[in-house]
């Protein structure tokens, strides 16, 4: 009985190993849309490029900053707006511009209502 059991065990083990070895020799071909490569390049470019923002207001009073944010959004809906606290001021920042040219074009529009608006590059947080 032991010889039969050993023979069956050896046969099963041999079959499993041969299936495993054959599976490792398989070839995989991946087909993907060419737009995926473009998106990956774009994402890589936006990570390495600096981001430009426009500061339109600053105050030590958070309520004034909130009101100014609302006023800005009533005038210009096309850009994201955020309030950032940078000791001791609350600052209203606009946009996430990927190029200086894009930020300059936005600034030209914004300067009509916010004559002291400035373009700057915030320090990017390291992740």
Query: What fold, for 45-120?
Result: Alpha-Beta Plaits (3.30.70)
Instruction: Spell out the per-residue pLDDT of the chain, length 127, in tens.
Output: 677 777 777 888 777 766 665 555 668 888 888 787 777 776 665 555 589 999 999 999 999 999 999 999 999 999 999 999 999 999 999 999 999 999 999 999 999 999 999 999 998 665 5
Q: How many Cβ atoms sit within 10 Å of the Cβ of residue 53? A: 22
Q: Which two tokens stand for residue 113?
A: 């209502």
What does DSSP assign to residue 126?
A: P
CB-based contact 98:79 (threshold 8 Å): no
Q: Which two tokens stand for residue 65?
A: 């900053």
CB-based contact 52:97 (threshold 8 Å): yes
Instruction: Give the separation between CA 49 and CA 45, rounded to whole angstroms.
Output: 6
CB-based contact 96:122 (threshold 8 Å): no
């Amino acid at each position: 009985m032991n010889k039969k059991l050993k023979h069956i065990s050896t046969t099963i083990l041999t079959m499993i190993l041969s299936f495993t070895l054959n599976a490792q020799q398989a070839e995989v071909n991946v087909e993907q849309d060419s737009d995926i490569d473009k998106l990956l390049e774009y994402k890589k470019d936006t990570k390495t490029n600096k981001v430009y923002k426009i500061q339109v207001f600053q105050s030590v009073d958070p309520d004034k900053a909130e009101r100014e944010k609302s006023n800005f959004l009533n005038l210009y809906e096309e850009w994201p707006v955020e309030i950032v606290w940078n000791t001791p001021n609350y600052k209203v920042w606009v946009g996430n511009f990927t190029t200086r040219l894009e930020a300059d074009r936005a600034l030209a529009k914004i300067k009509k209502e916010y004559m002291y608006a400035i373009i700057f590059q915030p320090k990017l947080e390291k992740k």
